[in-house]
Structure 1
Amino acid sequence: MSLIASDHFRIVVGLGKSGMSLVRFLAQRGVSFAVADTRENPPELATLRRDYPQVEVRCGELDVDFLCRADELYVSPGLALATPALQAAAARGVKLSGDIDLFARNAKAPIVAISGSNAKSTVTTLVGEMAAAAGKRVAVGGNLGTPALDLLSDEIELYVMELSSFQLETTNQLGAEVATVLNVSEDHMDRYSGLPAYHLAKHRIFRGARQVVVNRQDALTRPLMSEGQPCWTFGLSAPDFKAFGLREENGEKYLAFEFQNLMPVRELKVRGAHNQANALAALALGHAVGLPFDAMLASLRNFTGLEHRCQWVRELDGVSYYNDSKATNVGAALAAIEGLGMDMDGKLVLIAGGDGKGADFSGLHDSVAKYCRAVVLMGRDAGLIADALGDTVPQVRVASLDEAIAQSRTLAQPGDAVLLSPACASFDMFKNYEERGQLFARAVEVLA
């Protein structure tokens, strides 16, 4: 039975992917609802009119009086709650919620909830593969792939959900079996007033959680208010009780749990210290929900990484090329620079730049100085990055991705790596980060 009253009126605000999943969910349950979107022609408008012609839809500027007809507004993650019309409706007693809140009310199986500034998709995918290897009927989605409400099924034994800060803003009580914020660094500063507001949004994931997983190398990942639930930790240091980490024995580095070595790090197919941290986080989450180590370790040995996430493209003239186009913020770029940099003998030639989303690039300074031979800058905020880096390493400014690759090839020496890790969004030059990464990989292949 659905935990939603059918005699109340709802409005879905936002008609993108998650908004359309809300439409399907409400229609299947006979709930009375309408749809609103700030855009004149939202992405799913044609689908809505074809499949649900009876549903009232209003496009363009939000009408507060119309919104106030509803008992509850389901706000899509792309629309900020600070939008004046939403604030006005809330002030008049209308409840603001979202698809994840509704999913949590209706999910019958345990939820593994994963957020963080970076590595969410990688860890979510890993835990999903671990659960499948253990024989669980698992559903994976949320911010990654399939919208949460489309995953609901009585057949599912475990949900593994990637959740963004935008989704968590409208999530009042998730009640996950285990929840984690993998890391916290500045992102989406064009939406939030500052890091504290972004941090608070992320930490809504812990509301009602039965267990938590914490990155012991990032204090901002600890729940702001402990509810006394069991806490597991992960990090690159040697682990203690209820902890996953790295241990070294006879010159061999191992993934370890407490005082038990689990597998040699060299057996991972993904490179870099950041990927070792991702593996440890996935192990901690899987262990919290009772997945056996043999299935989890087999999944780690088979995992080759996700596209556009520190993805090895090829080696040419002794130089490796990595596509990390998904690094759309400073924290993600730092993870790649440090993760690869500390794991190789040569230096990095970094390709960075794009739409910085109001970020502070000063955090790149020390790691670029330590691990990079040169930096090639492109895009709208190239100048801001250049100013933040100062005279750490040589800088080259270019007008296109092809020019960036050509310059990087000239700068790199055998044993080095060329790393596309922009620390910026792509929208100033590309359709999305996927297009940026695909064009990079294609251009590198053509070099040969």
Structure 2
Amino acid sequence: MVTADLPFTVVIGLGRSGIGAARLLAAAGERVRLIESKGDQAHQAQASELEAEGIEVRLNTPLAPEAFHWPGGRAVKVVVSPGIRWDHPTLVALRQGGVAVIGEMVVAWEALDSVPWIGITGTNGKTTVTHLVAHLLEAAGIDAPMCGNVGHSAAELALQRRAQGRALPDWLVVELSSYQIEAADCLRPRLGLWTTLTPDHLERHGSLEAYRAIKRSLLERSAVRLLNADDPDLAERFASWEANSDVRWITAGPRSALGPPIDPQLWVEAGQVTNASGPLFPASALAMPGAHNRQNLLLATAVGLELGLAPAQMEQAFRSFPGVPHRLEFIRELNGLRFYNDSKATNFDAAEVALKALERPVVVLAGGEAKQGDPTGWIEQLKRHAPAVVLFGAATDTLANLLAEHGYGGEVTPCAGLGEALPLARGLAELLGAQAVLLSPACASFDQYSDFEARGEHFRALVLGL
């Protein structure tokens, strides 16, 4: 007698999103196998914990077709982690063979189908806006935790609520990367926010047009779209949104300066956040530096208005906002020298924004895993604000060559890692009269760290240990 292979859901990756998805699916009664290409001591400990919960784990298992069909079992659904290319040949072959390939966000979406989502995406600014919106709604007494590409994975959050026997949230505030969006075409947020669009992740998506289309697909599926009119790429495509009445534009400048054809819902006039009914509250309610944070403030305000919050409520919440870890995060001042952690700046555009926001002489720590993009704007800001740059990690030679090619005339010092880079930067700042040391890498973190957060935590620990 031949026994048919049992159907399994195979989850790829023993990271935060993979573990959350596996546990949530197992709790729903599905047979789950989790595969991981690595198998070090930390992975072995995680695997033992999951297997005690009835989730099969296979370590040291490459992403190859044979991992999805084995004696006694076969994959009918595959959950992919954001770190794996959507066009990986094995995933393409699985889809062509009729296997459903989805992202962790789909698992969470299906488990939380009664909860309205606020989906936030963009090249830069999305993490700050996510924190800001979550803080705003929490201050208003709304149960709206943040998750996704920041904080908990969405699946973890759904599982946590179920395990604790708690009611589902009123709203979810979800940061969504392009990697997560392309693997979750079922997501339909109640509110969709698009902060900015500049070239990023081109090594994965292939072109700016493909990257833009992924971001846009989320907004097109959202019931209400909130867009930043100060972003040149978004504003240039105003006409493509014009026929839709559910699009709201914001600008951090005066309404008149934006000009036709865009008529914003929110703008800043005489220092006041303003809409058609008049001034709402001072734009200075959010103390974070930089024009980009005015844009973030306006986007969060637009969410508050959609949810019926009063201007006084919003002003009070913005005044109490503590800022975002790893995004222009002030760590300490030592002998008149200020230290900032901007580890979240993983591309040239984000690092350029940080330099503009500080507007002071700084020594910059940059490096990591190089990404494609145009460094011109970043290097122009370095010329204005940075008498020295300390380079570290795998991109050291690449960045040094870019600085030389673009005529950067300050000190350029290469080194291996942050442990060596920080004291060098401190010494250069004192020697050259800079007022701050800024970690703003302009690179991904994966050459030396698991993510930008781990890099930022290491930098914070080093600074506090000075």
TM-score category of the 2 structures, normalised to the smaller one: 0.7 to 0.9
Distance change in 2, residues 1:256/1:417 (3 Å): farther
Match of 1:202 in 2: 215
Counterpart of 1:364 (choices 378, 381, 387) is 378
User: Aligned pair 1:49/2:63, yes or no?
Assistant: no
Q: Is the 8 A contact 1:171 1:204 kept in 2?
A: no
User: Aligned pair 1:118/2:124, yes or no?
Assistant: yes
Larger fraction in helix: 2
Query: How far did residue 435 of structure 1 move?
Result: 4.7
Q: For 1:57 and 1:440, how far apart are their aligned partners in 2?
A: 34
Residues 298-337 of structure 1: per-residue CA shift (max 9 Å, x gap):
1110012122210123345554332212212112111111
Q: Is the 8 A contact 2:115 2:169 kept in 1?
A: yes
Distance change in 2, residues 1:206/1:266 (3 Å): closer
SS at match of 2:299: helix
Q: For 2:273 and 2:54, how far apart are their aligned partners in 1?
A: 51
Residues 128-173 of structure 1: per-residue CA shift (max 9 Å, x gap):
1111222212222111111112333543111111111111121112
Q: Is the 8 A contact 1:177 1:289 kept in 2?
A: no
Match of 2:164 in 1: none
Distance change in 2, residues 1:77/1:317 (3 Å): same
Match of 1:230 in 2: 246
Match of 2:396 in 1: 382
Query: How far did residue 59 of structure 1 move?
Result: 4.5
Q: Which moved more, 1:256-265 or 1:201-210?
A: 256-265
1:320-339 to 2 correspondences below 5 Å: 320-339=338-357
1:148-167 to 2 correspondences below 5 Å: 148-152=154-158, 154-167=167-180
Counterpart of 1:93 (choices 95, 98, 110) is 98
Counterpart of 1:278 (choices 278, 283, 296) is 296
Q: For 1:340 and 1:132, how far apart are their aligned partners in 2?
A: 29
Gap regions ≥5 residues in structure 1? 1-6
1:29-68 to 2 correspondences below 5 Å: 29-40=28-39, 42=43, 44-52=46-54, 55=56, 57=58, 59-64=60-65, 67=68
Q: Is the 8 A contact 2:21 2:108 kept in 1?
A: no
Query: How far did residue 177 of structure 1 move?
Result: 0.7
Q: Which moved more, 1:122-131 or 1:283-292?
A: 283-292
The residue type paired with residue 392 of structure 2 is: M
Q: Is the 8 A contact 1:426 1:432 kept in 2?
A: yes
Q: Is the 8 A contact 1:314 1:320 kept in 2?
A: yes
Q: Is the 8 A contact 2:285 2:315 kept in 1?
A: no
1:399-418 to 2 correspondences below 5 Å: 399=415, 400-401=420-421, 402-413=423-434, 416-418=435-437
SS at match of 2:172: strand
Distance change in 2, residues 1:437/1:208 (3 Å): closer
Q: Is the 8 A contact 1:377 1:404 kept in 2?
A: no
Identity level (%):
30
The residue type paired with residue 290 of structure 2 is: G
Q: For 1:340 and 1:239, how far apart are their aligned partners in 2?
A: 26
Query: How far did residue 65 of structure 1 move?
Result: 5.2
Counterpart of 2:324 (choices 303, 306, 316) is 306
TM-score of the two chains, using structure 2 as the length reference: 0.83
1:237-252 to 2 correspondences below 5 Å: 237-239=253-255, 241-248=263-270
SS at match of 1:243: coil
Q: For 1:174 and 1:233, how far apart are their aligned partners in 2?
A: 22
TM-score of the two chains, using structure 1 as the length reference: 0.86
Match of 2:10 in 1: 11
Q: Is the 8 A contact 1:141 1:151 kept in 2?
A: yes
Q: Is the 8 A contact 1:376 1:408 kept in 2?
A: no
Query: How far did residue 255 of structure 1 move?
Result: 3.0
Counterpart of 1:79 (choices 59, 79, 84) is 84
Q: For 2:245 and 2:10, how far apart are their aligned partners in 1?
A: 36
SS at match of 1:138: coil
SS at match of 1:191: helix
What's the C-alpha RMSD, in Å, of the aligned pairs?
A: 2.9
Match of 1:290 in 2: 308
Q: For 2:68 and 2:450, how far apart are their aligned partners in 1?
A: 32
Distance change in 2, residues 1:286/1:16 (3 Å): same
